[in-house]
Amino acid sequence: MKQYMNLILIVFFTVITVNAEEKAIYKNADFSIKALYDAKKPHSEPLIMTLSKTDKFSQHVRVDIQEYKGSLKEYAGMSILQFEKAKFKILKSDLAKNAIVLEYTGITQGGITLHFYTKACKKGNQMFVVTASATETQWKETSKALIDCVESFTLNKK
């Protein structure tokens, strides 16, 4: 069990890079791995990193790649409207030159109240969306690590 937890922690603190061929490589001091996703598909989720399960939920950070031709500002507006429609509460909304950062909470379809922190970056016609998810109790304990993980995401220049 301890080895499993160590592996989870190693994966959690992975640094994400994207090489010139747009194939993701995940590296840290102990290992690197080529991402398992198809860049030709319009929607892909090449990475999900989890921490230990508590409160009947596995807090996690995931990277999602979505086709999107609009601007960052349009994506932010669309996302906020979707969250408001789902009755999620927006805690933070920052639009920078190269990224959108959203922090929000809400009750999922499963009836669990979750806290989310998302950073979305645009490259070409794709949005790279990195989201941390945790229960409110988990968030109080691990928000710094989750936010640091999300904020560490960068897109490499081609």
Which of 45, 67, 52, 49 has its CA nearest to residue 2? Answer: 52
For the ranges 20-29, 66-75, 78-87, 103-112, the lowest mean pLDDT is seen at 20-29
Task: Calculate the CA 82 to chain-centre distance.
Answer: 17
Answer whether residue 43 is part of any domain.
Answer: yes
Element (DSSP H or E) covering residue 103: strand 99-107
Which of 123, 49, 118 has its CA nearest to residue 82? Answer: 118
Question: How many residues does this entry show for the chain?
Answer: 158
Domain count, the chain: 1
Answer whether residue 41 is part of any domain.
Answer: yes
For the ranges 12-26, 29-43, 112-126, 138-152, the lowest mean pLDDT is seen at 12-26
Q: Residues 104-114: what's their mean pLDDT?
A: 92
Residue 23 scores a pLDDT above 80 = no
CATH number at residue 59: 3.40.1000.10
Whether the full predicted model's pTM is greater than 0.85, yes or no, is no
pLDDT of residue 18: 34
Element (DSSP H or E) covering residue 51: strand 43-54
